Amino acid sequence: MKRDLRRIFDKSFKVCCLVVTLIVGVISLLDVAGYQTSLFNICLFIGIPVVLVFIYFFIKDSSINDTIYDPELLDENSGFSISYDTKDDCRFLNQNTQRVFGSDFIDDAVAESWRRVNPKGFLCLKDSSKNIWAGLTLLSIEPKCFKFFKDGIIKESDIDYESLNSFEESFDFNDLYITLIIVIKAPYVRKRHALPIMIWGFFEYLKKNYYSENGKKYTLYALPINQDSENLLINFGFTVYPNLQRKDKHRLYYLELTSENLERASSRVPDYSKKCKLDID
């Protein structure tokens, strides 16, 4: 709840700063033109918009958390499934990341070279008609290369397929990296469900394969490319990685994959097990 309120205040504060700046500018122009504005009127001019902005974001945020993520809104026959990417799936998803990632876009050939090393690290969400709705990628990177990446010395696009570990090899290393997260444009209800279903499926995948036990510790890293994705990571319990300056200008986050952390994070999304089949054996 505290994190939700903090996110709402963060959004509201930015908009309110803009609104207040505009209002102060208008009041200054009125004073220059000879119109007198009382302190009471100034408080009204500033206070009412600020309150309305906060109410707007509070209602909007509540509707996202409580309504559109309700699994019961999905048709029983929606036929969602999460499976491993094919070559065509990988290319389709990667091409759709360009509109979001911009200059951080990973070339199709690079993404495919990654997939060939670890096909079981590339997941996608499809409906019964085999339309793709979302996708994400989990990489295990050779420790020396990943140390350079964590320290911000190299960018994601600098990671070569020869520095990646296979699915079987990934269990021998502690660090995992999630990337290429994308939600495809889709009709309203399904589009709104695509991200939480993908996240639910991903946490089930992690529980099945990677969580710290018997002395083995796994840590999941992620690099948000905008404020929304950063808020999403914070919401799921990720902590910012302490590095001062990164070549890619982003902030790296991490989450230790203990059973407690996984349960806590997965509880942030509904259980879609009755609406989505996991084909990730």
More confident residue, 36 or 93: 93
Q: What is the mean pLDDT of the chain?
A: 79
In tens, the pLDDT along 213-264 reads 656 889 999 998 778 888 889 999 999 998 767 888 888 999 999 989 999 9
More confident residue, 57 or 257: 257
- Asked whether the whole model's pTM tops 0.85, one would answer no
Of residues 260, 271, 100, the one with CA closest to residue 179: 100
d(C-alpha 225, C-alpha 248), whole Å: 10
In tens, the pLDDT along 177-219 reads 998 777 776 554 455 678 889 999 999 999 999 976 656 889 9
Domain residue spans of the chain: 1-64, 73-279
> What phi, psi does 73 have (nearest 5°)?
-75, -15
CATH topology of domain 73-279: Aminopeptidase (3.40.630)
More confident residue, 188 or 122: 122
Residues whose CB falls within 8 Å of the CB of residue 46, separated by 6 or more in sequence, listed in order: 19, 20, 23, 24
* Region of poorest pLDDT, from 44-48, 99-103, 184-188: 184-188
| Element spanning 3, H or E | helix 2-32
- Contact (CB, 8 A) for 114 and 137: yes
Both tokens assigned to 192: 């709104």
DSSP character string of 148-161: HHHTTSS-GGG--G
Q: State the residue for tokens 């009382």.
A: 38
Task: Report residue 62's pLDDT band, with 50, 70 and 90 as the boundaries.
Answer: very low
Whether pLDDT at 136 is above 60: yes
